[in-house]
Structure 1
Amino acid sequence: MDRVVKIGLLLAAMLLMQTAGATAGDVLIPRYSITEAPGKPLLIKEPKIPDLSGYTAEAVAAKISYKPAGRALIQPMLKENALDEFIGGQDRFKEWVVRQKQMPVAIFIDRGYMSLTQLARSLPQTALRETAPGVFLARLPIVIRPGATLHIDKSVKELRLSQDGGSFLVNDGKLFITDTKVTAWSEKDNSPAWFKKDDVFRPFLISWGGTETYIVNSTITSFGYTESKSYGVSISQYSPSMAPKMKRKKPTGWLINSQFVDNYFGFYCYEADDVVILRNTYRANIVYGIDPHDRSRRLIIAHNDVFDTHKKHGIILSREVNDSWIIYNRTYNNQLSGIVLDRSSVNNLLAYNETYKNRSDGITLYESGNNLMWRNRAADNDRHGIRVRNSTGVRLYENELMANALTGIYGHIKDLRGSDRDLKEDPYEEKLSLTVVGGKLIGNGSSPIAVFSPTRLELYDLTFLAPQKQDGLAFTGLLGDFQGDLMDILLRRHAAALILPETL
């Protein structure tokens, strides 16, 4: 009798939890309702984008101060703040000892302006020499000290930084690379130092806090490897290991009309402000094409072609990269997604981008709320057109999502505990809210839109064409439960649909 009573009580408890919207494991599964959204349609004005007309080669040339003249020195690498990141620890110091076969030294530019040609005339040929008309080979690191300027100009056909000798570029002042080529060079192979393994040294460029870096109408090839701040072309506030701890302005720079090929990271920045990445080509870079990182702000990433990235994404903004414009880019044939916003990167505009034939999503948002996606086109990607995870206040307006292998728009939450993410540094909530207005969803593989467990979902003025399933248009996820009501609100009444969890 007791056993029968216990079974009855258990069944009653399970029925009560189902009625309340919970599973037997006491995990809440909210019930949802769909209604016509009150008030006016969810229309907004076209977002304002920055005026790009001032970012030109002529504007860069106007920034160069040719006086006073600088001077060149060869001095030990030890006890130099700008090199602290690269000589700390036995392994990194050993790298230069082995390559130079002596206590490591570097070329330093002091005080004022020097062109690369002037620099070469000031140094012994064992450090920097002209190997052919206009072609220079540097066999030592080159360091631009605070207050100094190095200009690698069109009189230089190519600057080759020797992989064998351990050369690299450190900007602690101002650096101008205009109308030329800079190549990480293998003397052994008499060719660019093409990527072979992550941990094999290749020359790189790093610009530190307070600096300005300008790369215009130039080609940068085969830079970078996996060591910290040695990724390729990098702009970074001073790293924690550098001494003394110095407070300096955020670094900045313009990269315009240039090509970046076979670099470990095509571009990387850390705590940089107002960087402009405009009209460049990022081709066949290794890990990322463009990778702005921690606490960088007000970036303009516009009119770039980013393609054939070998390992991960074309463009990724990660860890509080905020208040930026990602506009008019084309990202395609990348190993993972075309464009990613990640780890609390907020208040950004993604507009007029084309992302296609990527091996994951066209555009991915991870734990990054309050972003606007406006008139992007994501087509023929191997997963979703646009994917949004654990992000609230995300607005998708007038996007065209076509022929993606899975869904046009995919929204979901995910418990990341147990993942490789440091949740202390990257707190997040398992919440999702989306506003989707206008645009076309055409011929996506499994469903036009699939959304799971939102706190709020608003849909208005959507066009659905060419469903891939034989039985016609079919939604999955939460929208599958409301398909009839959704079609009635959107297509018959021409109103906005609002889907909310019911209050328990």
Structure 2
Amino acid sequence: MIKKLCLTFFFSFQLFAFECYSILTETGFFTPVYPYNFKDYYNFLEPRCNILQDKIIWESNLSYIGCYGKYEDANKTLHTLKFNFKNPKIVKHKFSFKDQYVIFPRPSTVNKININNLIKDYKPEKLLKKFPKNFYGNGIDLVPIEKLPLMPTINIYEFYRYYKKHNLSTKILVLYNGIYNIEYLYKKINNKKIIEKISNNTYIIKYPIYISPTASLVIKNKTILLETKPKPIFIMYHGKIYAYNSKFITWDIKKNIFAKREFIPENELLLIGKQTPRPYFLGFSSSKTYFINNEFRGLGFHSTTATFGISIVNYPSDLIINQYSLFTYLNKRGKPNGYYIGNLMYKNMMGFYCANAGKSAIIGNVMYDNLIYNIDPHDYSKHLIIIRNLTAKAKHAHGIVISRGVDNTIIAQNFSFNNHSAGIMLDRSSSKNYIYDNLTALNGYMGISIQESDNNLIENNKIIANLIDGIIIRNSLRNTIKNNLITYNLKNGIEVLTKNIDFMIYRDFLRDPYHKATSAYIIKNKIYSNMFFNITNKNNAAIYLKDNYLKSKYYPNYGGELNIFIPKIIENKGHFTLYGIGNPYLPLSSDFIKMSTNALKTAIKIYIEASCNNDFISDLLAKIYIKRLKNNRLGEMEYIRGISLLYPNDMYSYGYFLLSQAKTKKDKINALSYIIQSIIFGKENALIDIKLIKYITNINKDDINNAFEITINRLSQGKLIDNSKYNVMCKLTSHKKAIIESKLKQFLFRVKKSKVKDFYELSNVYYKNFNLFTNEVIKKINHIFYKGNIGKIKYMKLLKKRNKIINNNIECKKVFNKLQKTKKSLVTYYKSNKKEFEKLLSQYIDRYINLINEFRINKIDKKLIYKLMEQ
């Protein structure tokens, strides 16, 4: 077994040059490993069009095997690996991503999971027991959206801009310190301009709602009309939201009808800042979502992140324009999660979206006619359970897609059909996922697509009559395809290929790098009656075949580079290994570099006393110790060291650190005293925190005044901290004591001059002039919009340019005409076999309906299925 060297030596996204030992061997027809150099063979088959070229041309017939730190390890491989070497030798060389390596097909390490045991606790009747039954609270405020730094500025900016442009109120309803249901809320507010009751069970919500970490909102057996026109609203939350057997519908107030989505030109569908905002639900860090048996219709629009309809997100730091510590503190509490069981989601921008989410269950939902995706977990979400959903007619993309580091997720027993693109797709470094017992049919692209994602298990799926391939594996290693039924697909049953996608200029390759290497383990599948080849591979993809049942009508069972080895495969009764060529090493994602602890571990060697007089990074080091190294003690000591140097940022951050550890009211007041201390030492914007802190924890006006008194008493004694650990920090000089005395006197003079009643009122004075949307912030947001759009616009221009070249090129026209003829033959094949695959599908539909209905109160039937199957 070849050991894969973990390449983690990166700085500024560049690999440090280093040397390793590898086996260098000639590769060619008899190995059987060969580079893609059969040019005459392929030119004979079809005319060439260079503009369409996405092949990978490896430079020579020499390839490396392995990359070892020691000569002995390479030598051991040379003498133990069963391989038909040709003139092998061990060489020491500098690693490069241009080097070509022998790729060995290896099976996925993902294990089979018992689905029934996994989902038994997610039945609607069990989750309903978690719904609150008692409602209380008076924490209901109306706050201008521009004065509420508890949500990501990037998300609320487009609403704010729209409100200001149309002279609409910018106020948002804030819920805190209570558990509210819609009836309780309506009676407490008693204002039709905010929430209007139009029948016993129907309400119109006319203002945006923010649910704080100390609040919950419960909606049961209601119809909720979400104002979309003339004033679009939203519901965002760090707290909890519960909804059962209710409808949430976008609403045009003036016309008193469902608010249809505005027309969006195809070329602007994915651009940012182009669409009118529409209502959506969005849960942030540590939020809890319980959506059981509801209907969601017309939600979402396309913007930066998670504006798509129903979403949960833990924001990455590069998207947080809001730098206020209230939001930063809230965003560090933990990943959001939710239970989305038995809902109907249609005509939304997307059905469900999440990013950096924790374990969540998406089970028994019916999703169709959503504009882009039906289910779209994204960006480092882990341990998701996507089971027994019906996902159909996604208008511009996939039924189910997981993308960018979505690992350890189960996609099982879903029925995904008639979507614009793939039925199920794994994308951008999504690994260790289990794709089990799904039915994917009639999709516009592939039944199951694995792109740039390693080490996944695709098992026991039924993949029928998709308009391109049954399964495709692209630029992905160590994927196992086992015990699947793959039939009547209009191109190939399984296609395994390495592809050059560098031309995709809209893709950020720093965030989403990929390796030009592919391998697949294909065993015990039933593959028959696909239009072209049942199994094919291209561009030196490695492949292992064993115990597959294959039957083809028009073409050989094996295509691409396997075609050359058909006699050998038949001789071995379908048991065959084809080694590949590629570079299996993957540059680190820029996201991973930011999140990695490897580059930060050296920080632990820094002694606290070493830089008492000249160090300005104590706040940063403390965050490194706490967040990256999970060492609260070192972090606390580092904060205290910074405080002893009179740094207000350390006082401020230390206050939030203590708040995160606080268990009692006394602890919280003590934590607050350090935030107040930072104000005295110059951090005036912390006064915003004082004004709004009641939304994130149960601290009131009296507690705040108490904290002020504690702070003043501490500083009056010449102290900076009430903690015995202070003794190990930097000593207070007479100069520092003079500064403490001076800062306190200046602050008390300001308080006296302002003529406020108490310390709390001081925050009101500052708050009156506060606005989130400064010119600087607006410029940053517009720059993010620009960056988000520029790559997509350039790519669309590139496609136009390519199409123009194709139209003026004889060889390209030949290829285009051949593709058109092939397309016509596919349509003919599809029509001639329609009765057969529909008959086959009908054998499975009842089973999947029954599986989905186990988690639904409102059951679905065949009528809905056949309606959604219509093109």
Partner of 2:280: 204
Question: How far, CA to CA, are the matches of 1:270 and 1:484 in structure 2?
Answer: 48
Shift of residue 490 of structure 1?
2.2
Asked whether the equivalents of residues 467 and 491 of structure 2 are also in contact (C-alpha less than 8 Å), the reply is: yes
Output the amino acid matched with 2:128. Answer: A
Partner of 2:859: none
Partner of 2:89: none
Greater Cα shift, 122-131 or 415-424: 415-424
Asked if residue 172 in structure 1 is aligned to residue 247 in structure 2, the reply is no
Asked if residue 107 in structure 1 is aligned to residue 183 in structure 2, the reply is no
Partner of 1:76: 144
Shift of residue 46 of structure 1?
4.7
Partner of 2:428: 343
Question: How far, CA to CA, are the matches of 2:356 and 2:226 in structure 1?
Answer: 29
Output the amino acid matched with 1:240. Answer: I
Partner of 1:440: 526
Partner of 1:128: 195
Deviations along 1:229-264, one digit per CA (max 9) or x if unpaired, are: 311111001352233323121000000011001010
Partner of 1:416: 501
Within-5 A mapping of 1:6-25: 23=37
Deviations along 1:46-87, one digit per CA (max 9) or x if unpaired, are: 544352111022332332345572232222212323344357
Question: Per the alignment, in what secondary structure is the counterpart of residue 164 of structure 2?
Answer: helix
Partner of 1:195: 261
Change (3 A) 1:82 1:286: farther
2:405 pairs, out of 320, 333, 339, with: 320
Within-5 A mapping of 1:306-317: 306-317=391-402
Partner of 2:578: 499
Highest relative contact order (Cα 8 Å, sep 6+), 1 or 2?
A: 2
Question: How far, CA to CA, are the matches of 1:377 and 1:358 in structure 2?
Answer: 13
Asked whether the equivalents of residues 244 and 293 of structure 2 are also in contact (C-alpha less than 8 Å), the reply is: yes
Q: Percent identity?
A: 25
Asked whether the equivalents of residues 229 and 251 of structure 2 are also in contact (C-alpha less than 8 Å), the reply is: yes
Shift of residue 93 of structure 1?
2.0
Greater Cα shift, 352-361 or 61-70: 61-70
Question: Per the alignment, in what secondary structure is the counterpart of residue 287 of structure 1?
Answer: coil
Change (3 A) 1:400 1:43: farther
Question: Per the alignment, in what secondary structure is the counterpart of residue 52 of structure 1?
Answer: helix
Asked if residue 253 in structure 1 is aligned to residue 320 in structure 2, the reply is no
Shift of residue 427 of structure 1?
1.9
Q: Which ranges in structure 2 are unaligned for 5 or more consecutive residues?
A: 1-26, 40-56, 64-81, 85-106, 270-274, 583-871
Asked if residue 377 in structure 1 is aligned to residue 454 in structure 2, the reply is no
Change (3 A) 1:284 1:161: same
Change (3 A) 1:100 1:110: farther
Question: How far, CA to CA, are the matches of 2:167 and 2:134 in structure 1?
Answer: 33
Question: Of Structure 1 and Structure 2, which has the larger fraction of its residues in helix?
Answer: 2
1:237 pairs, out of 294, 309, 314, with: 314
Change (3 A) 1:427 1:87: closer
Output the amino acid matched with 2:483. Answer: E
Question: How far, CA to CA, are the matches of 1:298 and 1:254 in structure 2?
Answer: 13
Change (3 A) 1:249 1:288: same
Question: How far, CA to CA, are the matches of 1:412 and 1:26 in structure 2?
Answer: 14
Asked whether the equivalents of residues 226 and 279 of structure 2 are also in contact (C-alpha less than 8 Å), the reply is: no
Partner of 1:426: 512
Question: Per the alignment, in what secondary structure is the counterpart of residue 383 of structure 1?
Answer: coil
Asked if residue 487 in structure 1 is aligned to residue 566 in structure 2, the reply is no
Question: Per the alignment, in what secondary structure is the counterpart of residue 277 of structure 1?
Answer: strand
Question: Per the alignment, in what secondary structure is the counterpart of residue 339 of structure 2?
Answer: strand
Asked whether the equivalents of residues 416 and 424 of structure 2 are also in contact (C-alpha less than 8 Å), the reply is: yes
Deviations along 1:110-143, one digit per CA (max 9) or x if unpaired, are: 1110001111112211110111231100111011
Question: How far, CA to CA, are the matches of 1:318 and 1:204 in structure 2?
Answer: 21
State the Cα RMSD in Å. Answer: 2.8
Output the amino acid matched with 2:257. Answer: S
Greater Cα shift, 162-171 or 91-100: 91-100
Partner of 1:38: none
Asked whether the equivalents of residues 299 and 324 of structure 1 are also in contact (C-alpha less than 8 Å), the reply is: yes
Change (3 A) 1:463 1:43: farther
Deviations along 1:456-487, one digit per CA (max 9) or x if unpaired, are: 3211111112x231xx6342111100111112
Shift of residue 21 of structure 1?
5.5
Question: How far, CA to CA, are the matches of 2:83 and 2:485 in structure 1?
Answer: 25
Asked whether the equivalents of residues 34 and 499 of structure 1 are also in contact (C-alpha less than 8 Å), the reply is: no
Question: Of Structure 1 and Structure 2, which has the larger fraction of its residues in strand?
Answer: 1
Question: How far, CA to CA, are the matches of 1:57 and 1:116 in structure 2?
Answer: 21
Greater Cα shift, 113-122 or 68-77: 68-77
Asked if residue 61 in structure 1 is aligned to residue 138 in structure 2, the reply is no
Change (3 A) 1:34 1:386: farther
Output the amino acid matched with 1:422. Answer: D
Output the amino acid matched with 1:82. Answer: L
Output the amino acid matched with 2:217. Answer: L
Change (3 A) 1:63 1:44: closer
Question: How far, CA to CA, are the matches of 2:225 and 2:109 in structure 1?
Answer: 52
* TM-score after normalising by structure 1: 0.87
Asked whether the equivalents of residues 184 and 204 of structure 1 are also in contact (C-alpha less than 8 Å), the reply is: no
* TM-score after normalising by structure 2: 0.51
Partner of 2:630: none
Deviations along 1:127-176, one digit per CA (max 9) or x if unpaired, are: 1011123110011101111110000111x233434432222111220000
Asked whether the equivalents of residues 66 and 113 of structure 1 are also in contact (C-alpha less than 8 Å), the reply is: no
Shift of residue 188 of structure 1?
3.5
Change (3 A) 1:399 1:373: same
Output the amino acid matched with 2:279. Answer: P
Deviations along 1:180-236, one digit per CA (max 9) or x if unpaired, are: 111111224422222233513211111111100110011011000012231111100
Greater Cα shift, 200-209 or 160-169: 160-169
Asked whether the equivalents of residues 110 and 434 of structure 2 are also in contact (C-alpha less than 8 Å), the reply is: no
Question: Per the alignment, in what secondary structure is the counterpart of residue 59 of structure 2?
Answer: coil
Shift of residue 29 of structure 1?
6.3
Asked whether the equivalents of residues 77 and 83 of structure 1 are also in contact (C-alpha less than 8 Å), the reply is: no
Question: Per the alignment, in what secondary structure is the counterpart of residue 127 of structure 2?
Answer: helix
Asked whether the equivalents of residues 446 and 470 of structure 2 are also in contact (C-alpha less than 8 Å), the reply is: yes
Asked whether the equivalents of residues 497 and 541 of structure 2 are also in contact (C-alpha less than 8 Å), the reply is: no
Change (3 A) 1:378 1:92: same
1:27 pairs, out of 46, 59, 63, with: 59
Change (3 A) 1:81 1:414: same
Question: Per the alignment, in what secondary structure is the counterpart of residue 467 of structure 2?
Answer: coil
Question: How far, CA to CA, are the matches of 1:356 and 1:151 in structure 2?
Answer: 38
Greater Cα shift, 60-69 or 452-461: 60-69
Asked if residue 216 in structure 1 is aligned to residue 292 in structure 2, the reply is yes
Shift of residue 30 of structure 1?
8.0
Output the amino acid matched with 1:437. Answer: I
Shift of residue 441 of structure 1?
0.8
Question: How far, CA to CA, are the matches of 2:341 and 2:181 in structure 1?
Answer: 20
Output the amino acid matched with 2:532. Answer: S
Partner of 1:94: 161
Asked whether the equivalents of residues 100 and 165 of structure 1 are also in contact (C-alpha less than 8 Å), the reply is: no
Shift of residue 415 of structure 1?
1.6
Question: Per the alignment, in what secondary structure is the counterpart of residue 150 of structure 2?
Answer: helix
Partner of 2:817: none
Greater Cα shift, 449-458 or 296-305: 449-458
Greater Cα shift, 482-491 or 220-229: 482-491
